[in-house]
Amino acid sequence: MSTTDNKWTYVLKTNAKGSYLIEEYKKYDSVIDEAQGYENPDVDLIVYLEETSYVDFGQIFLIKMSKVMIQKYGGLSFWDKWQDLGKLSKNLIESLKKTHPNLEYAIPESDVAHEAFNKEIAYRSIAYGLDPIQQQALESVNKMTAEDYEFINSLRALKFTPEQYDPTINPDKYLLKSVDTGLIWLQHKAASIEHQIKGIKEQLETWNYFPLIDLDFIISFFDKLLKFAAKLQTLIKKLKKYINEGFPVICGIVNGLIEFVAGIMEVITLIVFRPLNLAEKDLFEHIELEYDMLVELLEEIVELFIEDPDKILNTIEEQVENYWTKRYKNKKVNIYQHNYYIGEDIVMAIDLVLTVVTVVKGLTKVSQKLPKFTQWIDDVMKRGIQRLEDIFSKPSKTDELFRAISDKYDLNGTRILTFKELKRLRIELRKLGIELEVVSRKSPATKSLWEKMALGNNPEGNRVLGFFRE
Amino acid sequence: MELGRPKMYVLDEVSAYTVAHEMQHARLWHKMHIEFPELKAVYSRIPQRVHEEFVLSELLKEGKWSMDDLLKDLKTINKKHRDPEGLNFETLDYYKEWKLIDQIKPF
């Protein structure tokens, strides 16, 4: 459908999928490229409108303008451009609402159209080579992969090195001279992380220079990350009592969190720079199908952060308090490295981290774009698998305890255990933290349960109902 | 029921096989909660099918139980767990080689 409005002619294109509209918008269009301009019946602009909202990145509303139109408005002074485009935006929105009443719910206000005009002029100026400085900047952006981003490298550079938590490598570089100095180092590290995230946020804000990137949502997410980093310092204070023995554990936790945050940053860079795939196709064309999954993932991360912002740090605190001293000993490495691995594993075992890891590893092309993050995941996973193999490959204390019980009660063949035996077994199992309830029709307390069990899926009447876990 | 503790229910006149079956469940719980508490989260992600398959494979390896009992457990696994998940029915031979660590993720 074509409508003439104030002598500029436009076409409206709608779709429920915002990513499709972005692709259409980026394509070269000979029809409007060859338009003769003002007071000519040719189509001068194409409006792209997403019919439903596009997650939290905002609804897609884009305008493709003819070369003649861009030259006309792009060449105006700042003030004239602001005024003329403002008027044009208002007229366009009014016209859209009039000619497409069925889409009124989706048609935005005129300030959105104004912004779309500004983006288009900036964007097409690059595409037409009208602005060499922007052109150069864009080319350098397009050539980058996620791992090239200096700010992510700087974040990773904050990680503790092995000699800093393991005195056997180089005692001079070992950071734990005393509990207090260890605490200072850890807090300094947490403060540096906060500072780094703040710097990245400021960097993101400057990226608004590039057209097509809606960073408001991402920047608000960074505000949450900043709060998270601030709370990390509080957590470190709480863990002070463990520093003497658990310094490498806490270093592992800090490094794990840095890697996790760096991984999220990489995901964000893939998402926000995707629409800038103009001249350089290599960067994103292979991840088109996986893009939506990344957006979903980021959505999920943000939702979880909003739902329970303290969950990650609370989980870490609980894990440190409950498990690290009881942890299976890895005899292949020294105690410092062993404890450091515990810290990294504690981070990996957090639900949110696992969610990110599972999605990223499931997206083959994305994984290739995030080599450092996936390498970290692979290393931690490999250790985890090795740990499981070590635990399950040979009889453990638990196996011995249960074997002893089994031998004591001569659990063999089809014989029926006596009630007395079951009572003794109950005492033995209770010592191991497991309850045993004998369900009998003769007992008033369990008669009703007995009936359920006997009438259930156990026609022979002497089979078990089940093993109930926590 | 005491909160935080697992509980085994057995009918009176329970057979040795049934007790042995439930004891295998209890053993895995104990191993992954008491002996290696860092595996609690891993344990919580093990699906019921894998729990039952673990028990059957362990009992098979003991080599002392009747074919009737083992086949009953196999039938339950195939019908109640594998079929709804769209998995192939398996034979006892499959569970002779079966390993828990092939079925679970380290985190």
Q: Read off the pLDDT of residues A139-170 as tens digits, 9 standing for 90 and up.
A: 555 554 555 677 888 899 999 999 999 999 99
Average of per-residue pLDDT across A74-98: 87
Segments of chain B scoring below 70 in pLDDT: 1-4
What average pLDDT does the segment A442-463 reach?
A: 62
Position A463 scores a pLDDT of 37
Q: What is the mean pLDDT of residues A69-84?
A: 82
**What is the rounded distance in angstroms from the CA atom of residue A250 to the CA atom of residue A231?**
15
Mean pLDDT within A275-281: 44
Report whether pLDDT(A171) > 70: yes
Q: What are A44-64's pLDDT values in tens digits?
A: 889 988 876 433 445 678 888
- Beta strands A2-5 and A61-65: pairing type? unpaired
- pLDDT at residue A279 tops 50: no
Q: How far is A426 from chain B (nearest CA, A)?
A: 9
Specify the pLDDT at position A56.
42
Kindly state the average pLDDT of the residues A176-187.
Answer: 93
> Measured between CB atoms, which of A342, A433, A449 is closest to B34?
A433
Burial A115-128 (b: 16+ CB within 10 A, else e): bbbbbbbbbbbbbe
Query: What phi-psi label fits residue A410: left (phi over 0), alpha (psi between -120 and 50 degrees) or beta?
Result: left
| Binary contact (B22, A464; C-beta < 8 A) | yes
**B103 — contact with chain A (CB < 8 Å)?**
no
Is the pLDDT reported for residue A9 higher than 50? yes
- Residue A459's pLDDT is 33
Stretch A265-271: mean pLDDT:
80
Which residues contact residue A47 at a Cβ distance below 8 angstroms, ignoring those fewer than 6 apart? Answer: A10, A11, A12, A13, A61, A62, A63, A92, A96
Residue-level pLDDT at A78? 75
More confident residue, A388 or A217: A388
DSSP state letters, A119-184: HHHHHHHHHTT--HHHHHHHHHHHH--GGG-HHHHHHHTTSPPHHHH-TTT-GGG-S-SSHHHHHH
Neighbouring C-beta atoms of residue A131, cutoff 10 Å: 17
Window 357-416 of A: residues touching B by CB (8 A cutoff) are 357, 380-381, 383-385, 387-389, 391-392, 396-399, 401-402, 405-406, 409-416
Q: How confident is the model at residue A462 (pLDDT cuts 50, 70, 90)?
A: very low
What average pLDDT does this structure show over A249-261? 95
Rounded to the nearest angstrom, the minimum Cα separation between B94 and chain A is 19
Query: Which residues of chain A are within 8 Å of residue B26 when distances are taken between CB atoms?
Result: 402, 429, 432, 434, 467
Residues of B in contact with A327 (CB under 8 A): 36, 38
Residue A19 has a pLDDT of: 64
**Partner A, chain B 34-63, Cβ-Cβ below 8 Å:** 34-39, 41-42
User: pLDDT at position A455, please?
Assistant: 59
Nearest chain A residue to B107, by CA: A349
Residues 6+ apart with CB under 8 A from A51: A14, A15, A16, A103, A106
Secondary structure class of B64 (helix, strand, coil): coil
Contact B27 A411 (CB under 8 A): no
Query: Is the separation of the CB atoms in A114 and A84 below 8 Å?
Result: no
Whole-model pTM: value is 0.67
pLDDT tens column, A356-414? 888 888 877 778 778 899 999 999 999 999 989 999 999 999 999 999 999 888 887 77
Percent of chain A with pLDDT over 90: 31
Report d(CA B74, CA B79) in Å as an integer.
Answer: 9
The predicted-structure confidence for A320-343, as pLDDT tens digits, reads as follows 887 777 777 777 899 999 999 999
